[in-house]
Amino acid sequence: MGYKNHEIVDLTQPIFSGMPVFVGHPDTWRWTNMTHEESAASGRFESEMSYYSGIIQMCEHGPTHVDSISHLDPSPTAKHIDEMDFNFFYSRGIAIDFEDVEDNSYIDAEKVKERLQHYNLEIKEGDTLLFTYGHYNRHYPNKTYTTHYAGWTRDAAEYVYKECGALNVGTDAPSMDMAHSPEYPCHLVCRELGRTNTENLYNIEKVVGKEFLYIGLPLKIKGGSGSPIRAIAVLNA
C-alpha cells in the first residue's frame, strides 16, 4: 500500500507531571514504579532480564483527549467512550487557522466559512475539522494556556456540526468554548447533536490547508467520560 510514501504528523501533546490541566481537573502525575536496577536485583529472573515501568495518574480529560457523548449529555442512553463508533475518531480530516484571532475573542460562522474558502477546503459529512490560531505556541506550558483562549460562537458550531455534518472538531486549546464562557455553546451543540470534540492538540499548523486521514483513537475505558488519545494526521493516505 506504499506506507513509506505517507507523511505522519504527530498531533499529540506530551504527558508529564505538572502539565497544564483544565480548571477543576486533577493534576497529572507520572512516577517510576520499577527501574532496571531494582528489577534486576529483585531475584525474579535467573537471566540478565530486567525491566522499567511507570505509573500515570491523570484525568480522562487531562492531556490530548476526546470527549464521550456522556461527558456532555446527562441522558442515561448517552454513549460512554467505550461505546462510541470508531467513525468519531478515524475519518477524513481538514485543518484551518485563524491568523487574526486574539485570546478571549470569538470565532463565528462567517469567519469559519472565510477560512475554509481561503484554503479551498470543504467540510464533508463525517469529517473531523481541526483548527488553530496559534494558542499552543503562544502559551504552552504556562498557566495562561488554560485561562486565555478564543472560543467559537454557537452559530459557528451549528454550521460545522449541523449544516456541514462534521462528527468531530479539534483544537490546540483546552476547549472549543472560550475559557470564561458562561454558556459553553459548542459543548451544548455537541450534546444536542450527539457529536464530539477533541482538545489539547498540538502541531495543527503543520497540516493547515491540507486534507488528511485523521486518527485519534481513545482507550477502551468502560463507562469513560472521555479518553487520552494519540492523535495523528496521515498525509498522502
pLDDT digits (tens, 9 = 90+) for 80-111: 999 999 999 999 999 999 988 999 999 999 99
Mean confidence (pLDDT) of the chain: 96
pLDDT digits (tens, 9 = 90+) for 60-69: 999 999 999 9
Q: What is the pTM of this model?
A: 0.94
- Measure the CA–CA gap between 209 and 219, rounded to whole angstroms: 29
In a domain, 42, yes or no: no
Could you tell me the pLDDT band of residue 3, with boundaries at 50, 70 and 90?
low
Q: Please give the pLDDT value at position 1.
A: 45
Residue span of the structural domain in which 180 resides: 65-235
In a domain, 92, yes or no: yes
In the chain, the number of structural domains is 1
In a domain, 200, yes or no: yes
Nearest to 199 by CA among 220, 212, 183, 184: 184
pLDDT of 58 > 50? The answer is yes
Task: Check which CATH number belongs to the domain holding 207 and give it.
Answer: 3.50.30.50
Dihedral angle sign, alpha carbons of residues 12, 181, 17, 89: negative
pLDDT digits (tens, 9 = 90+) for 177-206: 998 899 999 999 999 999 999 999 999 999
Q: Which residue has the higher pLDDT, 6 or 94?
A: 94
- Measure the CA–CA gap between 199 and 65, rounded to whole angstroms: 6
In a domain, 12, yes or no: no
127, three cell numbers: 469529517
pLDDT digits (tens, 9 = 90+) for 36-45: 999 999 999 9
In a domain, 10, yes or no: no
17, three cell numbers: 507531571
